[in-house]
Amino acid sequence: MDDCIFCKIINNEIPSTTIYEDDDIKAFFDISQVTPGHTLVVPKKHVKDIFAYDEDLAERVFKKVPMIARAIKASNPDIIGMNICQNNGEIAYQSVMHSHIHLVPRYSKDDDFS
């Protein structure tokens, strides 16, 4: 997709802070960090939203989320929890129309980020 910002990040046409990458996904920091370490897990294949996944792609993408969550948690002992969410469709606040999963670490002193 020529005009897709996440496809450009996947193709390294736009820089990102990438924490994990393989044949199926790229995980990089959200440009607007809800809390430090806020990461997006993005399939390399351009799929618009959850409704566009076939089962094979869904398995290859979503099964890696726990591994990435563990890696983020292991990076900072102050991380004591994590919100994982996905917005599908404008009505659900999806703003980038290339499917992605938000991983938002939660800290004991989360009040600092509200």
Q: Which residues bind ligand 5GP (CB under 6 A)?
A: 5, 14, 16, 28-32, 87, 93-96
Residue number closest to Zn ion, CB atom: 4
**Nearer to ligand 5GP among residue 30 and residue 110 (C-beta):** 30
46 is catalytic: no
Tell me which of Zn ion, ligand 5GP, none is bound by residue 1, counting a contact when its beta carbon lies within the kind-specific cut-off of 5 to 8 angstroms.
Answer: Zn ion
Q: How far is residue 37's CA from residue 92's CA, in Å, rounded to a whole number?
A: 23
Shortest CB 59 distance to ligand 5GP, Å: 22
The Cα diameter of the chain in Å comes to 41
What φ, ψ does residue 90 adopt, rounded to 5°?
-55, -35
Q: How far is CA 110 from CA 36, 79, 86, in A?
A: 10, 10, 21
Q: Which residues bind Zn ion (CB under 5 A)?
A: 1, 4, 6-7, 46, 98
Pick the catalytic residue: 46, 98, 100, 102? 100
Shortest CB 7 distance to ligand 5GP, Å: 11
All residues at 6 or more sequence positions from 88 whose CB lies less than 8 Å from its CB, including other chains = 49, 50, 51, 94, 99
- Active-site residue list: 100
